[in-house]
Structure 1
Amino acid sequence: MADSMSWLQAVVLGAVQGLTEFLPISSSGHLRIVSEVFFGDDAGASFTAVTQLGTEAAVLLFFAKDIVRIVRAWLRGLFDASHRGDLDYRMGWYVIFATIPIGVIGFVFKDAIRTGARNLWIVATMLIVFALVIMIAEKVGRQRRPIEKLTTRDGLVMGLAQCLALIPGVSRSGATSSAGLFLGLTRPAAVRFSFLLAIPAVTASGLFSLPDAFAPSGEGLQASGPQLLVATLVAFGLGYASIAWLLRFVENHSLNWFVGYRIVLGLAVMALLATGTIAAT
């Protein structure tokens, strides 16, 4: 039988989700680390997925005008070929095509994602490895193409990169934004499409995980319905603030600001593991 989650744990982990979901530092990795270091157990993949509904609600609200415009343009283009050259029509297809890989891979490997991939040695390693990926992307990316120049190829490559975020420690925004930089997109364009790309995948993952999150037994901490609701609301509020901050930040700052933090955190977790201070699983 899983241990019950306390209200403090629910609020703290909801806050961690909200603060880290959109930064290129891995929210799932942070939830795994914080729950182990401070609470001695894993909050669980289902808790992570459900609280992500709060942060995705923040994306829906923040980008509501963009989303409505894209959906309208996509529907209009389906029935009127003269509108198919419109960027918003194409953007709708880019998001759809780019979501297919993570849908397939997430379903096929869902059991491994919920168990073995949450090993803290893997989390720490991915924090460091993808810190280097972000650094290289910032260095070699030409950053000449705005979001208006986005192509189907860009969407598919960023969609494949999003699959890597199924491994805690990678970071969805870090993987997709880095892919965009490698493709020559400007940093704001890569980050903005990264937000839009996450909406269908994360929303579907959260809804799919609701039954598991309410399961009465299993590995990790067990949250009650009210605790899940509060954690999700906390994640929503802090997630909205994080989106606004990050979009302003990337206008004039490199993602390399997050590289050093990722490396230090990864090494710190490895040190705690090596000394037996925390358990890997």
Structure 2
Amino acid sequence: MSWFESLILGLVQGLTEFLPVSSSAHLRLTAAFSGWEDPGAAFTAITQIGTEAAVLIYFRKDIGRIVLAWCRSLYSKEWRRNHDAQMGWLVIIGSIPIGVLGVTLKDQIEGPFRDLRITATMLIVVGIIIGIADRLAARDETGGRHRAPKQRKGLQDLNAKDGLIFGLCQACALIPGVSRSGATITGGLFMGYNREAAARYSFLLAIPAVLASGLFELNDAMSSGHVTWGPTIFATIVAFATGYAVIAWFMKYISTKSFMPFVWYRIALGVIIIVLVMAGVLSPHAAESAG
């Protein structure tokens, strides 16, 4: 991998990680359309450490309160009723599905799931689902001629059952094209949560999964020696800086705006990929690394 490739891929990772468009799909597609080798699951996981560092810094106050309250709840019954302490447990509960499925489906994630036909299908299907969830949320928020606006749930309403459902939605993002933030936020909207609450929990929920995946791939890469470290580290730094800016913008955007621009983008991109593959212009395995 060249330094120029690492710059572009780092920018793509940072720009798309927190938007409901699938960062893994865009990394894969960027390589395919540019004629580069597939950066691979290891590169994706390691650069995600950079974007998660952006989450840690942006939400540092929330994370600090949650970690402190959770630690105190381990030995104090009084603290177990604290909302921040409960959030700590809910993040742990929500992280279980992706942890189990990530290990179980590792070979599929790094192999068959990277087929561009699967990526395109997921972009379209999940895009439509996001659109439906967004419309339902908008209807609740605005009400109608014969119906008053409905108050949607906030993080204070989160419970173990909903946390587990959020976690199952996050696990769907193991398939390129789904989108971690897209799946979890959509799941939250269907369960009646407001956009900001769903997005905030989505970002917090991603921290254990992404860091664990990144560290696992980092250890594997160090053992195998298949990673070009200089460009990979550079891409991770670029992803961190870009990702931080995107988080700040996205948290403001979702408080008042619709997800429909992302929905139409996903559908259009998915259709383009399918057409190019069917026409023989693009191989479904384009840019796949030999290893």
For Structure 1 versus Structure 2, the TM-score category normalised by the shorter chain is over 0.9
**Alignment correspondent of 1:39:** 35
**Alignment correspondent of 2:247:** 243
Amino acid at match of 1:253: K
**Alignment correspondent of 1:220:** none
Distance, in Å, in 2 between the alignment partners of 1:211 and 1:8 is 25
TM-score, normalization by structure 1: 0.94
Amino acid at match of 2:190: F
CA RMSD of aligned residues (A): 1.2
**Alignment correspondent of 2:110:** 114
Specify which of 149, 152, 170 is matched with residue 160 of structure 2.
152
**Alignment correspondent of 2:275:** 271
1:253-272 → structure 2 map (5 Å cutoff): 253-272=257-276
**Alignment correspondent of 2:169:** 161
1:116-155 → structure 2 map (5 Å cutoff): 116-141=112-137, 142=140, 144-155=152-163
TM-score, normalization by structure 2: 0.91
Distance, in Å, in 1 between the alignment partners of 2:200 and 2:132 is 20
CA contact (8 A) 1:47 1:213 kept: no
> Could you list the runs of 5+ residues in structure 2 that have no partner in the other structure?
141-150, 286-291
Moved more, 5-14 or 194-203: 5-14
- Offset, 1:41: 2.6
SS for the counterpart of 1:252 is coil
1:229 pairs with 2:239: no
Moved more, 125-134 or 138-147: 138-147
SS for the counterpart of 1:45 is helix
1:195 pairs with 2:203: yes
- Offset, 1:211: 3.9
1:4-19 → structure 2 map (5 Å cutoff): 5-19=1-15
Specify which of 11, 14, 27 is matched with residue 23 of structure 2.
27
Question: Per-residue CA shift, 1:219-245, capped at 9, x if unaligned?
Answer: xxxx51111110000000000001001
Distance, in Å, in 1 between the alignment partners of 2:168 and 2:17 is 19
**Alignment correspondent of 2:52:** 56
SS for the counterpart of 2:260 is helix
> Could you list the runs of 5+ residues in structure 1 that have no partner in the other structure?
218-222
Aligned residues: 272
**Alignment correspondent of 1:69:** 65
- Offset, 1:212: 4.2
Moved more, 41-50 or 88-97: 41-50
Distance, in Å, in 2 between the alignment partners of 1:188 and 1:152 is 19
- Offset, 1:140: 2.6
